[in-house]
A and B are shown apart, each in its own frame.
Chain A
């Protein structure tokens, strides 16, 4: 398994498409952090006692988008690009038959490729974050506290899991489809759907299941919104962006966008406007993290099972 992993790693780092994509992501990320850094001042306007300023670097949208949004949108592309031809490239070059007739277990092939992909993703994301942290230090001059570093570390882990999900999905499609183009298109189609169209679908589903007949009835509206929110969680992109925005923003204390509060509750909420500690933030999004990890494992497990059962003769 390590042998395969080692070769795949070498392939990844040597491949031109990976370098191009990485340069692109790096460039955009640098730009977005720069924009964020120049907009932090505006974001802090009117805040009496700013805390955790450093995290704002990653979450402030600047002119276009924040780094976090950017990774949520384009991280999947990184995973897909590294996985979409994992198995069927070996088929196309007719090396799969040779590979499975070596004294290795068949699962070592999938494992090795997945592991190499995860390692590459980790290295890419980690180096990107370190770069941006360094840039943030220089432009803003704020030194991150322990808790902020902790939050960024958790964010990094979640991001790796998220991109790994797409890697697993891409590997699955590379096992299922013989042709490289079909496999890439299938994975990209799923990505676009879950990133851009899931919102519409969730609205549709919510209107069908919990229709709002009377637009003045708050109960109905809330039920409708809740259902839409819940059903859009099917998409890993939504899961990820909600989970990470909670982790990176200590002032968010609920997963739900919509909370019905009475006057007294509102009063108490306003009195305790203090950031949540890190462990509480994690606790808030724990179900999301579990779901994300589960989806990654399901994808990986599926490709594993399909590959183990596939006939080798049609290689």
Chain B
């Protein structure tokens, strides 16, 4: 069963079309890289998938639910990490997690164990009692993932998860994403414009430019017909080719 399926999904703001007839399908245990320049409509698409924005036309299904009609069912099973996620800086990491747990109606008795587990999964053991205001950017981003993990989601939607991280932080984030898929069987959709990273971990890629999906498929599929070494497909070349065409 497809985890995410959209059919001619369109969103217009006034005259401007942010997302234009998007049809994609993301299968179970995919790591789907959603690429495109700034303002291509990636975030708008994500918001429509979560039911936070209504599509102008077209349909979407996430985990079998229609986001426009049953957003709560979707939000229960989908972990969404917004771009530049924020926290309550005057609370500790654990308190932030506990609040999110309560909003997700996790049983109070299990919360401490779940929080501990989530923190150790993202490599923040022992940091939970510090105020979030004192966290580094990489730690904040990993705390953001921990917030998603406490509800044990089937699908993770990450908006620019590695933006602004140093190389070490980026590596840890990418490894974390890969291990979540491998060990917990989660499906991941991540938007990014950092191509090398996407190339390293994604099983499938979609390229979106000016609201239109211009390419969809695995790296190997996309690299056919592109110049350069066929054995080592290079996402950057593929991307630039589509970018120039558009």
Q: Which residues in A have some Cβ–Cβ distance to B below 8 Å?
A: 3-4, 6-7, 93-95, 97-105, 311-313, 315
Contacts and interface: CB of A to CB of B under 8 A. Distances in A.
Contacts of B104: 102-103
B53 interface: yes
- Tier of interface size on chain B: 20 to 34
Contacts of A7: 99
Interface string B74-89: 0110101010111111
Contacts of A313: 43-44, 47, 52-53
Nearest to B78: A101
A105 B88 CA distance: 20
Contacts of B87: 93, 95
Contacts of A312: 47, 52-53
B105 interface: yes
A95 B100 CA distance: 11
A103 B105 contact: yes
B72 A95 contact: no
A154 to B, nearest CB: 36
Contact of B80 (A93, A101, A105): A101
B52 A100 contact: yes
B231 interface: no
Interface of B: 43-44, 47, 50, 52-53, 72-73, 75-76, 78, 80, 82, 84-89, 99-100, 102-105, 147
Contacts of A101: 50, 52, 75, 78, 80, 82
27 contacts: A3-B103, A6-B102, A7-B99, A93-B88, A93-B89, A94-B85, A95-B86, A95-B87, A97-B85, A97-B86, A98-B85, A98-B100, A100-B52, A102-B100, A103-B72, A103-B73, A103-B75, A103-B76, A103-B105, A105-B72, A311-B53, A312-B52, A312-B53, A313-B44, A313-B52, A313-B53, A315-B82
A311 B43 CA distance: 12
Nearest to A101: B80
A101 B85 CA distance: 12
Q: 6 closest pairs, A vs B, by CB?
A: A94-B86, A97-B82, A103-B75, A102-B103, A101-B80, A3-B102
